[in-house]
Structure formats: structure tokens, C-alpha cells
Amino acid sequence: MLERISAAIEGTRGIRSRSAAQCIAPFLVILALGAAISGCSRTETPAAPGASAAAAPEAEIEVHTVPVRRGAIVQRIEAPGALEAKRESKIGAEVQGRIDRVFVDEGDRVEAGAPLFQIDREPYEMGLRQAQAALEHTRAEKRQVEADLARARELQKQNIVPAQQIEKLETGLAVARAGEAQAVQAVALAQYKLDRTLVTAPYPASIVARLADEGTTVLVQPQTIVVVLQESGELEARATIPESRLSLVRIGDPALIHVEGIAAPIQTEVQAVADAIEPTSRTYTVRMRVANADHALKAGVFARIEIMPQSKREVLIVPRAAIRSEDGLTRVFTVHDGRATPVPVTLGAVAETEVEVLDGLRVDTPVIVDETEHQLAPGMRVREARASDAGDGEP
């Protein structure tokens, strides 16, 4: 380009007039700059479309699959619960009186028949002696009437005593016998009251409360509660089951009871199923016996209860690892034409590692089971792992 500018300047040397040269020079500079700009534009022209680089290949993920199968499944029903005393009794006096002695204190364990407290015996011993004396009196009267009647009958044979006198003595004897029977019952009642001054434990139990001390006068109506006891050799677990699972739990179903602080779960079985639904919570109660011979468990502790209803047989089963729940939908991913395909499913019984499928799948349909399924999106390209690699994902 500089050579062109020099040639143009040389061509002007033949012009004799200085003013003419000054007019031509700017024009030549403008031409030179235009040529330079034109050359730059030509060097920055983009390449033809056919010369663009090839697009990147679509990503592909390797996944593990397990076929849907038929089999049996044992559903575990988990429910909150608590251990409670099988029996709890509030023990008061059956006879009124002053407490002479309380034999137990809170936290004690007692056997059936063990003394709990003693009511003052003296008033009831006196009552028994009075009743016994009254009985002896009526028996003496009866004996006298019996003797009079026997003599009267002998005299009647001699026509000395009239028949009306005999009838009167016979009536008197009947009254004496009734009085004797009444006196016998009075003695029995007095003995009963005396015996009830000593109050004993009705069954093996633990004392959970002592509410009265020596010197307290206890009443029968309203009854004064002296001690509260609970059966501790055997407890009862109570679980609340949702109404939706009403048809699943049956008497005799095995159960596991998990208590904080106890390493191994306690094995038991369902003892009773309530017939009524609690209207507020829409739940029903299930009860189970819990042996507690060593008294390691305490009534009132919370527990997590697992009930295993009878197994369901010949149902469609997939691993729980294959189930996804998003936006209120439950589905699994299958592989179709090399792509991840979501399939909505309806679930039934749920076990620890498997779940029953009621609708949406067929036997032998491969479902994605390992951790890669959480990264999948519908339509993503996938490649099933070889059988030797997929073994870890099988149930």
C-alpha cells in the first residue's frame, strides 16, 4: 500500500503549479485509507457454515435394574405406643377406722396377699364379741323353747295341755331358730369386718403411691385411698393404629417393641384389637403382653411398636430403592429404548426392603434401583449395567 502512495506522489511531480499539488494530496490519502479498511474487512470475513465444528454427543448414565417379580411380602406396621401396667388398683379401706400401721412405701414390690396397711382392730373385736354373745343368748332361748315344747307334748298325751298351747310353743321355737340364724350371720359379719381391718395386695405388684399415714382416719364412703399399686411382673404395650389399616392387624400377629435404653427389641404378639375407632384421632388400640419378670421395664415409658401382619402371597414386588415420590406422585423409572421412562405406580404393603405394587407394572419389567435413579430425568439416555455389576442392586 505504501508503494501505491509513493507512485501517486511521483506522478504529481510533473505539475508545475504548487497549489495543484496541495489539492491532490488529501484526495490520495483518503483513497489509501479506504483500501486499507477494505483489506481488513476481507481478512475478518467468517467461515462458511459448512466448516462449523460437530455438535457434542448426548450424555449417557449407567444404571442398575431389577426385574419386577411375584412373591410373598410381610408388611411392617409401625406405630407409636407406650408400656402400661396391665392392672392398676387404688386401694382403700373396706371398713372405717384409724390406720394403725402402713406396711409399704412407694417403690416397694409386694406379692399377692402381702399386708399393705392395718386399721385399728379393737372396735371390730368388740363388735365380734357382742355378736357372739348375742348368738349364745338366742341359742339358749331356743333350747328353752325346745324343752318346753317337749314337755308340753308329753302332757298333751295325758290331755293336760291343750292343743293351742302346743301351737304357741311350736311358733316360739320357729322364732327362736330364726333368731339363732340371724345371730349367726351377725357373728359372720363382725368377723368379716374384723378381717377387713388388715388390707392385703390382691396380686403381685409395685407400690406407685402412698397417700395416707398412721393415725389417719379412713372412710368407706367416699372411700379414702391409702396406696396405689400396679402389676409389674407383666406389662401391656398399647399401640394406636390408623383407621386406614383396620383390616391388617389380627390377634396373634407377631410384634416387636422398641424401648429406648433396651438394646434388643422385645418380641411379643397381638393380644387384643379394639372394636371401636377413636373419633378424634381416627385410630384404634392394639394391646400386647410384655413379660417383665426382672422389673427392668417401667410402666409409662414410650415405645415404638412394629407389627408384622400375615404375609401377602403372589403379589408384584419391587425394591423400595426403586420408588420415588415427588409432587404427590409415586413412580418408578424403567428403561425403554435406552431412555429413562417414569411409570406411575400404586403401592400396597410396604416391608423393610420391598414394596407391593398394585398397579402400573408387569412381571419382569426392569426398574432402576440404585442411587443413580435420584439423578435421572424423564427421557435421559441410560445404559443398563452388566448382570455381574447389577448384583448389588438386587434384593
Pair (299, 320) in one structural domain: no
Q: Is residue 389 situated within a structural domain?
A: yes
**Mean pLDDT lowest among 62-66, 185-189, 351-355:** 351-355
Pair (368, 351) in one structural domain: yes
Q: Is residue 211 situated within a structural domain?
A: no
Pair (318, 389) in one structural domain: yes
Which residues constitute the domain of residue 7?
A: 2-43
Highest mean pLDDT among 141-155, 196-210, 337-351: 196-210
Q: Is residue 208 situated within a structural domain?
A: no
Q: Is residue 219 situated within a structural domain?
A: no
**Mean pLDDT lowest among 89-103, 185-199, 280-294:** 280-294
Q: Using 50, 70 and 90 to split pLDDT, how confident is the model at 56?
A: low
CATH code of residue 261: 2.40.30.170
The answer, yes or no, to whether residue 41 has pLDDT greater than 60, is: no
Pair (256, 353) in one structural domain: no
Pair (70, 132) in one structural domain: no
CA atoms within 13 A on the CB side of 226: 33
- The per-residue pLDDT for 394 is 45
Cell of 294: 426382672
Characterize 11-38 residue by residue with b for buried, 16 or more Cβ atoms within 10 angstroms of its Cβ, and e for exposed: eeeeeeeeeeeeeeeeebeeeeeeeeee
Pair (125, 180) in one structural domain: yes
Tell me how far apart the alpha carbons of residues 92 and 190 are, in angstroms, rounded to a whole number: 19
pLDDT tens digits, one per residue of 340-380: 898 999 888 777 788 889 888 989 898 998 765 557 788 88
Nearest to 209 by CA among 88, 337, 335, 46: 88
Pair (388, 356) in one structural domain: yes
Pair (301, 355) in one structural domain: no
Q: Are 207 and 104 in contact (CB under 8 A)?
A: yes
Q: Is the pTM of this model over 0.95?
A: no
Q: Is residue 48 situated within a structural domain?
A: no
Q: Is residue 351 situated within a structural domain?
A: yes
Kindly tell me the burial class for residue 43, based on how many C-beta atoms sit within 10 Å of its own C-beta (0-12, 13-18, 19 or more): exposed
Q: Is residue 286 situated within a structural domain?
A: yes
pLDDT tens digits, one per residue of 210-263: 999 999 999 999 999 999 999 988 899 999 888 877 777 889 989 999 998 888
pLDDT tens digits, one per residue of 85-144: 989 999 999 999 999 999 999 999 999 999 999 999 999 999 999 999 999 999 999 999
Q: Is residue 212 situated within a structural domain?
A: no
Higher-confidence residue: 248 or 27? Answer: 248
| Count: domains in the chain | 4
Tell me how far apart the alpha carbons of residues 203 and 295 are, in angstroms, rounded to a whole number: 15
Question: What is the sign, positive or negative, of the torsion defined by CA atoms of 59, 61, 62, 63?
Answer: negative
Q: What residue type is 290 in one-letter code?
A: V
**Of 183, 200, 217, which residue is a domain's last?**
200
Percentage of the residues of the chain whose pLDDT score is greater than 90: 42
Helices 18-43 and 2-10, axial angle in degrees (round to 10):
160
